[in-house]
Amino acid sequence: MDPTAPEGCSLSAGPAADPQAPYVRVAVVGLICRPDGDELRWLLLHRTQPFEAWDPPGGRMEAGEDLTAAVTREIQEETGLAVEVAGPCYAFLTFYKGERLLAVSMACRAAGDPDAIRLEEDGPEEWLWATGAEWQESASKGLSSWDPADVKKAMRAVAAVWEATEG
């Protein structure tokens, strides 16, 4: 029995109990929205490596980070933007650069000028603020790594998380 386990709980030895085991790593995705009239626009970055896609910014968590710190760091590195983070809103399993990842999407919005984007060197080549319909259409045409149904669910989840945060 593990002396650090909570009372009444025993942790078995083996790979399932190993926090360093090579299972799924956690990544974060910044679903950054901005109002534009009656609709929201979503920040998408155009990547060409390891494949061509228009997707939200994000990346792998680093040791010692929580979800908010990780998504804030990734967005800052990739776009130069500071963001407000409402919290997690959508998650999915994916395979990227040879790794299985649990991608946790975080509801975000720019904390300053949303057009003050400075793309990192050797990173995405372009950026745009797409409407939800444009993002879904891009996904339908295979120009995003996201499934169109996941885009729709994630956009709704972002709105719900911001409403719960502000309400």
101-124 pLDDT, tens digit each: 899 999 999 999 999 999 998 889
- What integer pLDDT is reported at residue 23 of this predicted model? 66
DSSP lists the bridge partners of residue 33 as 42
What residue has token string 């800052």? 76
pLDDT surpasses 50 at 6: no
> Does any domain span residue 11?
no
51 confidence band (pLDDT: 50, 70, 90): confident
In a domain, 15, yes or no: no
What does the pLDDT look like over 66-77, one tens digit per residue? 999 999 999 999
- Helices 148-166, 132-140: crossing angle, 10 deg rounding: 150
Nearest to 45 by CA among 59, 61, 66, 27: 59
For residue 140, being part of any structural domain is answered with yes
More confident residue, 127 or 51: 127
Structural domain of residue 128, as residue ranges? 23-166
Residue 134's pLDDT is what? 97
Domain tally for the chain?
1
pLDDT at 96 over 70: yes
Query: What are the strands, taking DSSP E only, across 111-153?
Result: 126-131
Q: Which amino acid is at 109?
A: R
Q: How many CB atoms lie within 10 A of CB 107?
A: 27
pLDDT confidence of residue 123: 86
| pLDDT above 50 for 5 | no
Interval 24-46: pLDDT, tens: 789 999 999 999 999 999 999 99
Alpha-helix runs per DSSP H in the chain: 67-79, 132-140, 148-166
Q: What is the mean pLDDT of residues 15-28?
A: 66
Which CATH number covers residue 99? 3.90.79.10
Here the tokens at position 154 are 């994630």
- The pLDDT value recorded for residue 94 is 82
